[in-house]
Chains A and B, each alone.
Chain A
């Protein structure tokens, strides 16, 4: 190994930069989690110190669990996120397979059309979407949210996945055809496992905005039955009094599921990268 790439000052420099970045990125999160375990006086008295025996208080969590149906909100968020993610990945992958595998008239145009959504924010269409949902009787259902989020996630998914699908060996697909596999089997059994790292990337990119979204739950599904966590947390934001303990506790809890999903997908990501490298 050459010493140039492993010199001590370089290593220290690189680590210093990375650690600083991590600290900056994690700071708000840590602040939220830390303060969620403090009493109201503790939060306002010394917001930057970790909870001490004197300021430690679980009042935020007890409020959250006592008031409103927070567990239910969680469930709603999870259902919406997982279902939308499932449909984005399924339809996104199928569309990209068709775009990259089959030659048909208007292929390029179709690809462009499907990718256009990346540049046009779906919120511009909120009024039309609301009218549509009212007309189809889907207001205040989770279905409405799932439909909107699926539409929102598809363009980027198709854009990324079709690039990766193009790289899957043609020979492999052809070998499958000669062995009599149907196009569906080729897609699900041969191609999908090979683009798993790309799917994980898309999943991460798609998941976080859906979980954090406040806009569409507020407009399309604000009922008690269909509230998501982000919407539910608004309960504690009053016009005159804001229950900071409860908000911070709710936010801390809201981090957990995304974190779990993220860990699952990033495993896939890393596995994909290393399996490609070792060959």
Chain B
């Protein structure tokens, strides 16, 4: 219960092609995260799955059944929006109940589900309040509760945490992870936050300009990115890309993650001067201007004292260096 299959879905707004042929299989109970730069079509894809937007061509199957002509309410899905999208004129309780009432669920059953959901999300004290009387975090929990009571086959989240402050984001992220474990439901989650993607996902789908760049588990994407785009997108700080010709390599571009570089004051592969140092406590980010490699970022675990202007040598871990061809694909 709750698998999703997308076959060659395309979507154009007038002459602008936003989705250029998406194929995707989501298994029952999986937590799938869509990531990608702003404007790459994540929300559009989610809306096509939800039925809020018609695809120009291609098929969407939920549990093996083609839902291309099924209205959103009948698809067995629930969606949580970035802006919460609570009904301003209804109490928290009625916000959660509305969808069930529309579907003709018996009142006792509605009551039961609201009870379970509000206990799960600690919403009991607020059931009679209106959305305007809640904080941002509480509102987003209500929005999640509204999705939970529908007991959908498929949860869709569109950047649900991006309007929350940092501390609240961590808490709510945890709640969503627990929710997934408890409900064992299939969830699709859109974000452009790295940490959310890496921590929540069973499977990450990296989108770029309306195409899927790579699908894989967080560690697969981190350890073996298929191309330059994925390599640069997954991981923070961003991977260093160095012109292969400058290093005397055959590959077009060489990629090294900042955490796979070591520095030494006396000897190493690339000599450079410290431009800037960022002290984060647990790690230190150094920006080095190297003679051969250009400006690179080095991430050092723990505290490292380096004065801007001083000379350091950086050495990449040879086993964790990526080589990209002219088309951006990884060379093996």
Cα–Cα, bound, A190→B103 (Å): 18
Asked whether A169 lies within 8 Å of B99 as measured between CB atoms, the reply is: no
Chain B's closest residue to A173 (CB) is B85
Contact call A179/B98, Cβ cutoff below 8 A = yes
**A174 touching B81, Cβ below 8 Å:** yes
Please report the total number of B residues contacting A with Cβ < 8 Å.
25
A130 CB-CB contact with B under 8 Å: no
Q: A174-B79, A279-B132 are in contact. Are A179 and B47 (CB under 8 A)?
A: no
B262 touches A (CB below 8 Å):
no
CA distance A175 to B50 in the complex (A): 10
CB proximity to B under 8 Å, residues A184-202: 189-190, 193-194
* Complex contacts, B79 vs chain A, CB 8 Å: 174-175, 178
* Smallest CB gap from B73: residue in A: A180
* Chain B residues whose C-beta falls within 8 Å of the C-beta of A279 in the assembled complex: 132
Q: Which residue of B lies closest to A103 (CB)?
A: B13
Q: Which residues of B, 12-35, contact A by the 8 Å Cβ criterion?
A: none
Interface pair B102/A172, CB less than 8 Å apart: no
Say if the beta carbon of B87 comes within 8 Å of chain A.
Answer: yes
The number of residues on chain A lying at the interface, defined by a beta carbon within 8 Å of a beta carbon of chain B, is 17
Residue of A nearest to B83 (CB): A171
Q: Kindly state the separation between the CA atoms of A189 and B94 in the bound complex, as whole angstroms.
A: 14
Contact at B73–A174, with CB atoms within 8 Å?
no
The contact of A177 among B52, B82, B86, B146, by CB within 8 Å, is: B52
Q: Contacts of A275 on B, CB cut-off 8 Å?
A: 132
Look across to chain A and name the residue whose beta carbon is closest to the beta carbon of B84: A171
| Contacting residue for B73 out of A171, A179, A193, CB 8 A | A179
**Which residue, of A171, A189, A194, A279, has the highest number of chain B Cβ atoms within 10 A?**
A171
Q: Are B81 and A180 closer than 8 Å at their CB atoms?
A: no
- B32-57 contact mask (Cβ, 8 Å, vs A): 1 or 0: 00000000000000010010100000
Inter-chain CA distance A174–B73, complex, in Å, is: 10
Residue in chain A with minimal CB distance to B96: A179
Determine how close the nearest CB of chain B comes to the CB of A184; give it in whole angstroms: 13
CB proximity of A246 to chain B, nearest CB, Å: 48
Please give, as numbers and ranges, the residues of chain A lying within 8 Å of B332 by CB-CB distance: none
Contacts of B296 in A (CB 8 A): none
B82: nearest residue on chain A (CB-CB)?
A171
- With the chains together, A279 CA to B50 CA distance in Å? 29
Residues of B within 8 A of A171 (CB): 81-85
A176 to B89, CA, bound (A): 13
Query: Known contacts A174-B47, A178-B72; is A190 also within 8 Å of B87 by CB?
Result: yes
Q: Is A160 an interface residue (CB 8 A)?
A: no
Q: Judging by beta carbons under 8 Å apart, are B102 and A180 in contact?
A: yes
Interface 1/0s, chain A 143-182, versus B by CB < 8 A? 0000000000000000000000000010110111111110
Decide yes or no: A180 and B103 within 8 Å by CB, A174-B47, A174-B79, A175-B79 being known contacts.
Answer: yes
Residue in A171, A178, A181, A193 with the greatest tally of chain B CB atoms within 10 Å: A178
Report Cα–Cα, A103/B27, bound state, in Å. 34
Whether B77 is near chain A, meaning CB under 8 Å from some CB there, is yes
Closest chain B CB from A106 CB (angstroms): 13
B104 to chain A: closest residue by CB? A180
Contact, CB under 8 Å: B99 / A193: no
Given contacts A180-B99, A181-B102, contact A175 B85 (CB under 8 A): yes
Q: Which of A169, A174, A179 has the most CB of B within 10 A?
A: A179
Enumerate chain B residues within 8 angstroms of A189, measured Cβ to Cβ. Answer: 87, 89
Q: Is the CB of A172 within 8 A of B99?
A: no
Complex Cα–Cα for A181 and B101 (A): 10
What is the 8 Å Cβ interface bit string for chain A, positions 264-279, against chain B (1 contact, 0 not)? Answer: 0000000000010001
The residue of chain A having its C-beta at the shortest distance from the C-beta of B156 within the complex is A178
Chain B residue nearest to A189 in the complex (CB): B89
Please name all residues of chain A whose beta carbon is closer than 8 Å to the beta carbon of B99 when the two chains form the complex.
178-180
Q: Check B73 against A178 for contact (C-beta < 8 Å).
A: yes
- Cα–Cα distance between A275 and B83 once the two chains are bound (Å): 18
Quick check: B83 and A177 within 8 Å, CB to CB? no
Distance between A28 CB and nearest chain B CB, rounded to angstroms: 42
A interface list, Cβ under 8 A from B: 169, 171-172, 174-181, 189-190, 193-194, 275, 279
12 pairs of residues in contact across A and B, judged by CB atoms under 8 Å? A171-B81, A171-B82, A174-B50, A174-B79, A174-B85, A175-B87, A177-B72, A177-B73, A178-B72, A180-B73, A193-B88, A193-B89
Known pairs A176-B87, A180-B99, A181-B102; list 9 more (Cβ under 8 Å): A174-B52, A174-B85, A177-B52, A177-B73, A178-B73, A178-B79, A180-B71, A180-B72, A180-B103
Residues of B within 8 A of A (CB): 47, 50, 52, 71-74, 77-79, 81-89, 98-99, 102-103, 132, 146
